[in-house]
């Protein structure tokens, strides 16, 4: 992937996508864990708004503030300076206007030294992504299941269950790719949707329960360690007796293609997969 000691960058992720290498990513929220995960060879870390759940004990990602997530992101980058660190933009930090979003994204980059930012993105954010790209900012569009929108979605339900839903996700992915998104994060969709997104866009696709065709895969670290009461179906079984061993084995499972397997995948409604796959690209 990269030479020992050499930082892993967005260009390395792009290269991996074109050469069909699979890249591992984990969430991380503190300096000490970041040092361990970097030493384990995890090339990418996401400082997710999932900290609201697994660190602060909230029932959703909504309560976490921009100031707090920025402190966590800066700490992770200090702990893992050679790792690609992605800062998550929390609820309320970019929804009011493009101007608000761009200002807060710039704050995140300047004050944390993170490598890129992630925004949960509906169609209304396509123009903002074009402006971010024009400013030279690496922004990742998070589509599919968007935890910040669970109130509207009616809970944590996987997306792309029908051909129409799947088609809408693919169309949205194409819009963000054309607008200049640096990458996509695709969460909780059937593998048919993940495969079609990968086929239709020319940027890396990071899957979070999106099937084996994605270029990279991410899970919440606390889910992987079984520190949470329940885990999404796409989280693999941990292998190892220590954090560094579990992380190393996770990286190996992804790079070798042994994860994800069918058991980790969501299924489309009966008959909808055939309908969706019969549609022309």
Cα 127-88-199 angle, rounded to 5 deg: 60
Distance between CA atoms of residues 159 and 145, nearest Å: 6
Dihedral (CA of 66, 68, 69, 73) sign: positive
Mean pLDDT value across residues 68-73: 98
Distance between CA atoms of residues 113 and 145, nearest Å: 27
With beta carbons less than 8 A apart as the criterion, state whether 33 and 53 touch: no
Please tell me the predicted confidence (pLDDT) of residue 23: 98
User: Could you tell me the pLDDT band of residue 280, with boundaries at 50, 70 and 90?
Assistant: low
Question: Which of 75, 71, 73 is CA-nearest to residue 48?
Answer: 73
Please tell me the predicted confidence (pLDDT) of residue 4: 65
Which residue blocks in the chain are alpha helix, DSSP H? 10-19, 31-39, 51-54, 66-79, 98-112, 126-134, 150-153, 163-179, 191-200, 221-224, 243-256, 272-278
pLDDT exceeds 60 at position 1: no
With beta carbons less than 8 A apart as the criterion, state whether 230 and 152 touch: no
With beta carbons less than 8 A apart as the criterion, state whether 144 and 160 touch: yes
Question: Which domains, and CATH codes, for the chain?
Answer: 10-278 (3.20.20.60)
Mean pLDDT value across residues 52-71: 97
Long-range contacts of the stretch 163-167 (C-beta < 8 A, 24+): 163/268, 163/272, 163/273, 163/275, 163/276, 163/279, 166/190, 166/192, 166/193, 166/196, 166/268, 166/272, 166/276, 167/276, 167/279
Dmax of the chain from CA atoms?
Answer: 49
Please tell me the predicted confidence (pLDDT) of residue 246: 98
**Percent of the chain, pLDDT > 70?**
96
**What count of other Cβ atoms lies within 10 Å of the Cβ of residue 124?**
9
pLDDT tens-digit map of 185-232: 999 999 999 999 999 999 999 999 999 999 999 999 999 999 999 999
Distance between CA atoms of residues 184 and 173, nearest Å: 7
Cα 166 versus chain centre, distance: 18
Residue 205's DSSP bridge partners are 184
Please tell me the predicted confidence (pLDDT) of residue 157: 87
Residue 216's DSSP bridge partners are 23, 206
**What count of other Cβ atoms lies within 10 Å of the Cβ of residue 274?**
11
List the catalytic residues.
187
Q: Is the peptide bond before 260 cis (omega within 30 degrees of 0)?
A: yes
pLDDT tens-digit map of 150-164: 777 666 789 999 999
Written as six digits, the tokens of 189 are 């969709």
Provide CB contacts within 8 A for 124, sequence distance 6+: none
Mean pLDDT across the chain: 95
pLDDT exceeds 70 at position 78: yes
């Amino acid at each position: 992937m990269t030479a020992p000691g050499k930082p892993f960058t967005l260009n390395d992720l792009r290269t991996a996508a074109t050469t069909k290498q699979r890249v591992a990513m984990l969430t991380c929220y503190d300096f000490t864990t970041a040092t361990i995960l970097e030493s384990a060879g995890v090339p990418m870390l996401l400082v997710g708004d999932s900290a609201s759940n697994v660190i602060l004990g909230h029932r959703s990602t909504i309560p976490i503030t921009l100031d707090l997530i920025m402190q966590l992101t800066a700490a992770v980058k200090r702990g893992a300076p050679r790792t690609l660190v992605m800062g998550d933009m929390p609820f309320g930090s970019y929804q009011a206007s493009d101007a608000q979003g761009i200002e807060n994204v710039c704050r995140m980059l300047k004050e944390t030294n993170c490598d890129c930012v992630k925004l949960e993105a509906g169609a209304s954010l396509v123009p903002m992504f074009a402006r971010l790209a024009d400013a030279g900012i690496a922004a990742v569009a998070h589509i599919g299941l968007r935890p910040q929108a669970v109130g509207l979605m009616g809970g944590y339900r996987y997306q792309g269950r029908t051909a129409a839903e799947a088609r809408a996700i693919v169309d949205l992915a194409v819009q963000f790719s054309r607008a200049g998104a640096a990458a996509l994060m695709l969460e909780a969709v059937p593998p048919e949707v993940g495969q079609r997104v990968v086929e239709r866009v020319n940027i890396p696709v990071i899957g979070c329960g999106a099937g084996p065709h994605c270029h990279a895969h991410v899970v919440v670290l606390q889910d992987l360690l079984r520190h949470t009461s329940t885990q999404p179906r796409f989280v693999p079984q941990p292998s190892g007796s220590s954090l560094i061993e579990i992380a190393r084995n996770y990286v190996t499972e992804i790079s070798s293609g042994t994860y994800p397997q069918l058991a980790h995948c969501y299924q489309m409604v009966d008959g909808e997969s055939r309908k969706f796959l019969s549609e022309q690209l």
